[in-house]
Amino acid sequence: MKKKQEEILENREIEIRLLIEAIYLKYGYDFRNYSQAHVRRRILNRFKLSGLTSISEMIHRVLTDDEFVEKILMDLSITVTEMFRDPSFYKALRQSVLPVLRTYPFVKIWHAGCASGEEVYSMAIMLKEEGLLHKTQIYATDFNPIIIRHAKKAEYPVSRIKEFTVGYQKAGGRSSFSDYYKADEESARLIDPLRKNIVFAHHNLVTDSVFAEVNLIVCRNVLIYFNRELQDKVIGLFMESLSGGGFLCLGSKENLQFSSHFSAFEPVVEQERIYIKKYSS
């Protein structure tokens, strides 16, 4: 009985790998080096919701049904985010990074893996309050075009406004959060001045190359979904994208300690995972 159960689990793992391979070969989305636990959990949840009888049936659906693929892409996308997530991080940015950026004639920022945009707009609000937004270009990218379309709208359920307001206040907001949105009974839309310096674009950290040369990269709580090999590859991509003296911001559970590119950076606020790229000698 135990041997039979082990065989069933082994076959399921093979089917999941074949499903991920089919998505890559058919659509070009590469999840092969994502955390296997993350991929397995999301695939099995979609399998349960699909009403299909096997993962092999899911593979057939992937090859023939674009709408089904979109659901899987949403499942595998990293969408856990909120405005001013981890307020202490934004306080550290205000104190240790933005004073440096203020000395530049023009600033370029890359939000990699921007999801539905909440953290991008948080940055825009902070830049506005620090008098930097007018001379800043923010690039916000994600591999999922559906999420990008949502992020561009800058529209969120009004039920989340209280949560966003608390985060803004804890992050050291200098105004009233209500100044930055217009709301009706169902949704709140961020004001246009916050959006005009943001360019949303498709970029896949797994398969694409350098996006642009920038002064600051924010990629928080994305690398934790990648295996060690892919994490190192993406850190290398960030290193190539940053100008000398540029800043890299990672999530609270991410660091550069095990990266082959560790020596290229120095910590600025280590507790908040903010690093600076060293100038080339």
Residue 69 counted as domain residue: yes
- Clarify whether residues 171 and 99 are in a common domain: yes
Which residues on neighbouring strands pair with residue 217, listed in sequence order?
Answer: 110, 248
Same domain, 69 and 144: no
Return the DSSP state at 189: E
Nearest by Cα to 262 from 236, 224, 240, 281: 236
d(CA 125, CA 133) in angstroms, rounded, equals: 8
Last residue of a domain, one of 48, 76, 104: 76
Tokens of 236: 């290398």
Is 259 a member of any domain?
yes
In angstroms, the CA 201 to CA 266 distance is 29
Token pair belonging to 264: 């290229």
Domain closes at, from 49, 76, 103: 76
Evaluate whether residue 212 is within a structural domain: yes
Q: Residues 150, 187: one domain?
A: yes
Local confidence pLDDT in tens for the 281 residues of the chain: 666 676 767 788 899 999 999 999 999 999 999 988 889 999 999 999 988 888 999 999 999 999 999 999 989 887 778 899 999 999 999 999 999 999 999 999 999 999 999 999 999 999 999 999 999 999 999 999 889 999 999 999 999 999 999 999 999 999 999 999 999 888 999 999 999 999 999 999 998 888 789 999 999 989 999 999 999 999 999 999 999 999 999 998 898 988 999 999 999 999 999 999 998 74
CB 274 within 8 A of CB 248: yes
Q: What is the DSSP letter of 34?
A: B
Domain termination site, one of 24, 49, 76: 76
* Spatial separation of the C-alpha atoms in residues 268 and 94, rounded to whole Å: 13
Verify that 63 and 175 share a domain, yes or no: no
Domain assignment present for 207: yes
Cα separation, 109 vs 111, whole angstroms: 7
> In 10 A of CB 5, how many CB atoms?
9
